[in-house]
Structure 1
Amino acid sequence: MRMKHNGRLKVKFDFSFFAVVAFMIFIDTSGAAVLSLIACILHEGGHLLAMAVCGANPERITFYGGGIALSKSGMESLTDAKRLVILSAGCSVNLLVAAACFAMQGNGTAAVFGAVNLIICIFNALPIGYFDGAEVLELLLTGFVSLRTAEKVKKIVGTVLALIITAGVIVYCVMCGESVSLSLFFVVLFLIQAQLVS
């Protein structure tokens, strides 16, 4: 585990990040692992840019086995509109990049990069665990109910959705006679883990 200081912003590299990157590069022959890492950096860059524009100061960026996490501290004093902009900025960047890539006809690498960005956008928009979609859901709910109730609803929605996705993967594999790929297994495992630790 290594920590670097960049002014007030701390950048932390967890050992699991290097282990997962090395593993993915080793088994990946398409180059999608590297493109996924770039898309994750773009996603967090979107959050950082929105935070700078809205006047919030991130404390820490953590590179870990599950991706890249940005601490969004200092957002409590912001208006709900600014918080919504910050929370949705990462997915917005991925969506814009995906649209730009898909507009490049006949470019295979751009098409793959577009697909990767779209997947990361959809994945982070899920109202599960600590994903952006869950934070957006909680923020929207607090406009109608108490924070405690909003947190309970978020937890229930996340758990139900994680179970539905897991069941969907199992049913698909059984009905189609397909075996679960390693990447799909890790996706389901990551969704469950994200919900459990939230």
Structure 2
Amino acid sequence: MRMKHNGRLKVKFDFSFFAVVAFMIFIDTSGAAVLSLIACILHEGGHLLAMAVCGANPERITFYGGGIALSKSGMESLTDAKRLVILSAGCSVNLLVAAACFAMQGNDTAAVFGAVNLIICIFNALPIGYFDGAEVLELLLTGFVSLRTAEKVKKIVGTALALIITAGVIVYCVMCGESVSLSLFFVVLFLIQAQLVS
């Protein structure tokens, strides 16, 4: 592990990040792994920009095997509206990039990059674990119920959704006689892990 300091912002590179990137580049011949990494950086860049605009201080960016994580500080003192802007900024950037890429008709690389951004947007919008969607759900629920109740509801929804997605993948593979691809296996595993550690 290595930590770099850029003013108050700490950037941490975990060994697992380099291991996963190297592995994905090795097995991926389409270039989607590199495009996914760029899309993840754009996603976190959206959060960083929104935090700068809303007056929150980014504390640490961690590059690890599961992707890129941005720890946010100073969010508690912000209004719910500003917190919602920050939490949804990453997905918004991916959605805008996807729309721009899909508008470039006849460009295969742009189409793939657009699809990658759309997938990352949808993935992060899921109300599972520590994903943006789960934090948005909790924030919206606290407008009607206590924080403790909101956290319980978030956990129930996340667990149910993770189980439904896992069951759906298994049923699809059994019904269609398809084998589970390595990438799909890792996606399901990551969803379960995200929910368990949240």
Q: Deviations over 1:105-139 (max 9, x none)?
A: 00000000000000000000000000000000000
**Match of 1:72, SS?**
strand
Q: Deviations over 1:21-59 (max 9, x none)?
A: 000000000000000000000000000000000000011
Give the C-alpha shift of residue 72 in structure 1.
Answer: 1.2
**Match of 1:117, SS?**
helix
Give the C-alpha shift of residue 178 in structure 1.
Answer: 0.1
Unaligned 5+ segments in structure 2 are none
Q: Deviations over 1:48-71 (max 9, x none)?
A: 000000000011000000000000
Matched with 1:189 is: 189
**Match of 1:105, SS?**
coil
Aligned equivalents of 1:172, 1:39: Cα separation in 2: 28
Q: TM-score, normalised by structure 1?
A: 1.00
Aligned equivalents of 1:140, 1:19: Cα separation in 2: 37
Q: Deviations over 1:58-100 (max 9, x none)?
A: 1100000000000011100000000000000000000000000
Matched with 1:42 is: 42
**Match of 2:5, SS?**
strand
**Match of 1:58, SS?**
strand
- Identical-pair percentage: 99
Unaligned 5+ segments in structure 1 are none
What RMSD, in angstroms, separates the aligned Cα atoms of the two structures?
0.2
Q: Deviations over 1:147-186 (max 9, x none)?
A: 0000000000000000000000000000000000000000
Matched with 2:104 is: 104
Aligned equivalents of 2:37, 2:61: Cα separation in 1: 14
Q: TM-score, normalised by structure 2?
A: 1.00
Matched with 2:3 is: 3
**Match of 1:12, SS?**
strand
Aligned equivalents of 2:151, 2:91: Cα separation in 1: 22
Aligned equivalents of 1:87, 1:66: Cα separation in 2: 19
Superposed structure 1 runs of 4+ greater than 4 Å apart: none
